[in-house]
Amino acid sequence: LAKTTQPISMDSYEGQEVNITCSHNNIATNDYITWYQQFPSQGPRFIIQGYKTKVTNEVASLFIPADRKSSTLSLPRVSLSDTAVYYCLVGERSSGSARQLTFGSGTQLTVLP
């Protein structure tokens, strides 16, 4: 399982774009990169997943360079409600079998007014 490294915490102001970078130097060929968000006293919530280049959905964008040894979650124009812990997970994507997720410590994003 590829080890991931993220900043422990980040602060931002409302309306700014926030970029959270995750390092995964030992990512394997079949591994995908998945980001989850967790609000206090709630369960994690899937945000976005990608394999290479760029993925965008209604919530965020995920940038993955060609070597795939890192990835950056980009949140456009954050609001106070985006204050949460963001987790980067790396692992082989599976379909048709149960798979445990391994969460690290995540990045505590605090959005300030």
Partner 1 sequence: EPEVTQTPSHQVTQMGQEVILRCVPISNHLYFYWYRQILGQKVEFLVSFYNNEISEKSEIFDDQFSVERPDGSNFTLKIRSTKLEDSAMYFCASTPERGLTDTQYFGPGTRLTVL
Q: How far is the CB of 16 from partner 1 (least distance, A)?
A: 27
User: What residues line the site for partner 1 (CB under 8 A)?
Assistant: 32, 34, 38, 41-46, 49, 87, 89, 91, 93-106
Q: How far is the CB of 77 from partner 1 (least distance, A)?
A: 23
Q: How far is the CB of 113 from partner 1 (least distance, A)?
A: 25
How far apart (Å, rounded) are the C-alpha atoms in residues 91 and 3? 10
Helix (H, G, I), strand (E, B) or coil at 86: strand
Q: Which two tokens stand for residue 3?
A: 């080890």
- Report the chain's terminal Cα–Cα distance, integer Å: 38
Residue 22 or 91 with smaller CB distance to partner 1? 91
How would you classify the pairing of strands 84-92 and 107-112? Answer: antiparallel
Residue 96 or 113 with smaller CB distance to partner 1? 96
Q: How far is the CB of 94 from partner 1 (least distance, A)?
A: 5
Residue 16 or 56 with smaller CB distance to partner 1? 56
How far apart (Å, rounded) are the C-alpha atoms in residues 54 and 46? 17
